[in-house]
Structure 1
Amino acid sequence: MTIQAELAAINEKAASNNNHEMQQLAFSCIDLTTLNPTDTVSRVKAFAARVNDFYNDYPTLVNVAAICVYPNMVRSVKEVLAVEPVKIAAVAGGFPSSMTFIEMKVQEAKRAVELGADEIDIVLPLWAFLDGNKLICKEEIVTIKEAIGEAHLKVILETGALAEPEKIHHASMLAMEAGADFIKTSTGKMSPAATPEAAIVMCRAIKDFWMKTGKQIGFKPAGGIATTEDAILYLTIVKEILGEEWMNPQLFRIGASRLANNLLSDLLGEEITYF
């Protein structure tokens, strides 16, 4: 089946999946993200405090999966965050371009973990991948994975730059073989960001890897995902290709900044601006 034909079938199923249960699941899989040059310590601490308050304000709902920030803001989140199920994620490794030295990437990722990050999001070095130097890509991922120990590693493929399904599949397999715990579509810093077509290719690759190795790798679409309909579509892609085993925050995340409020609004039937 072609990607377009598969997407058309999934779109039909996504419409019927847009219900309260799936909306709540999507919310619980959000990596609540703030990656702005104007992020300050006080703003980031207030951001984390809102996550702390969420259970008190909405006791019938499940909280987000993680807060995602720049490495220098990890300590600020760690000092405030008091709800254990919510993880701390940090972008690192020269995010968003990956255009720096491997020594700097390793040190940045390792330091973020030392300050309290549970998860590290890095970018595949496109400058090497697009030039055909896959060995550099693998070595970087392996080295950073070793440096961060038990922390989870998400590898961003920047699928908009790869464009071709074959390249996206190849990059997905390379990242997983090198030790990625998750593969992620995009940084959100270039266009196009996440697309359903790229998600289908990546989920197919995750399935191929699982069937080959027995290891379940997580999937994270990110970049431009703002509406409830968007979130449900990506959840449906995961459900149809990978199955319900992947439909949880351990194996599925959505990188988003605007999505949380839109999902809350649909869940509660009124306009909500909470985060």
Structure 2
Amino acid sequence: MSESHERNPGTPLERGWFEDVQINRSAAERRTALIASGRTVKKKHQAAWLLRAIQCIDLTTLSGDDTPGRVRRLCNKARQPVRQDILDALGVGDIGLTTGAVCVYPTMVPHAVKALEGSGIPVASVATGFPAGLTPLPQRLAEIRYAVEQGAAEIDIVITREHVLLGNWQALYDEIRAMRETCGEAHMKAILATGELGTLTNVYRASMVAMQAGADFIKTSTGKEPENATLPVSLTMVRALRDYRDLTGHNIGFKPAGGLRTAKDAMNWLALMKEELGGPWMEPHLFRIGASSLLADIERQLEHNVTGRYASAEHHALS
């Protein structure tokens, strides 16, 4: 994440910014269907967009059987996300392409930090009782402190969904504000777990409260919910970003996560960011994609751009 990017200081809880807002799901679905079908990017332009998508990926492993070895292999892939011969054929062999970050569980942070030493790639850690977020707040804050002490530069926190479902906005604000303060210099991404919030109106309201509480990014999902990132949910969140910017002057980042698996998915979300917020939100300091298998499909698509042939997926394994 760019060191020069201004942090979000947050605001006091301003209910008037969101309590009267109602989101029409049908309208959101129509708008995102147009985005998904309306933009065609071909050949060199497509390759450029896919390279940008790679720069915005938080390359992620969040499995119960994670090991230091798996994390090291993932970090090696983050350092060299596309084979050198493909980059050379595209004429970008010297750009120093890396992913935006590597995202792991707190206990894996020191292994990732060591593996990424000297690369400039930040380590992001999930925390606060990920994925359910139902452990007591003191333990959740302690988990943030642990991850930061181990070297995490970014913290992906999870909110208490109950606060949203019951409309307890003060409790949600206070919780996220405490997490933001505990993060210190580490940038905080607030995971809303949108698939468990019930309505797009709730998604908008939770987005606004998270930003008021000081979130540097808002993020759709843990990747563990029945429904994760969708374009209608993402549209709702990026319009909340736009409204917050208009009200405060602060630019907040956005991270879709869960369910983005193909190069086409990456293109759709980049198109959403460009059309709704403009070019700056196609940069890694304001846009990240939480993904694991997505990178392999993008690399496969880039090889097709060079050779005209699709390699089998096993030729582009993550580790």
Asked if TM exceeds 0.5, the reply is yes
Deviations 1:186-243 (CA, angstroms, capped at 9, x unpaired):
0110111110000000010000000000000000000010001111111111111111
**Stretches of structure 1 lacking an aligned partner (at least 5 in a row):** none
Instruction: Confirm or deny that 1:79 pairs with 2:114.
Output: yes
The CA RMSD measured in Å over matched residues stands at 1.8
Quick one: percent identity of the two aligned structures?
A: 40
Instruction: Confirm or deny that 1:48 pairs with 2:75.
Output: yes
33, 37, 51: which is aligned to 1:12? 37
How far 1:11 sits from its partner (Å)?
1.7
CA distance in structure 1 between the partners assigned to 2:82 and 2:235 by the alignment: 34
85, 100, 107: which is aligned to 2:142? 107
Aligned residue number for residue 184 of structure 1:
219
Aligned residue number for residue 116 of structure 1:
151
Instruction: Decide which structure has the larger Cα Rg and report it.
Output: 2
**Cα distance change on mapping 1:68 and 1:170 into 2, 3 Å:** same
Code of the residue aligned with 1:66 in structure 2: it is A
Aligned residue number for residue 251 of structure 1:
286
47, 51, 54: which is aligned to 1:24? 51
Within 5 Å, give how 1:122-141 maps onto structure 2. Answer: 122-141=157-176
Q: Are the equivalent residues in 2 in contact too, given 1:23–1:228 (CA < 8 A)?
A: yes
SS at match of 1:121: strand
Aligned residue number for residue 273 of structure 1:
316
CA distance in structure 2 between the partners assigned to 1:4 and 1:128 by the alignment: 26
CA distance in structure 1 between the partners assigned to 2:228 and 2:34 by the alignment: 22
Code of the residue aligned with 2:163 in structure 1: it is A
CA distance in structure 2 between the partners assigned to 1:37 and 1:53 by the alignment: 25
CA distance in structure 1 between the partners assigned to 2:58 and 2:292 by the alignment: 8
Aligned residue number for residue 242 of structure 2:
207
How far 1:21 sits from its partner (Å)?
1.0
- TM-score, length-normalised on structure 1? 0.94
Q: Are the equivalent residues in 2 in contact too, given 1:187–1:193 (CA < 8 A)?
A: yes
Aligned residue number for residue 28 of structure 2:
3
SS at match of 1:155: strand
**Stretches of structure 2 lacking an aligned partner (at least 5 in a row):** 1-23, 88-92, 305-309
How far 1:3 sits from its partner (Å)?
1.2
CA distance in structure 1 between the partners assigned to 2:103 and 2:218 by the alignment: 16
How far 1:85 sits from its partner (Å)?
3.0
Q: Are the equivalent residues in 1 in contact too, given 2:235–2:272 (CA < 8 A)?
A: yes
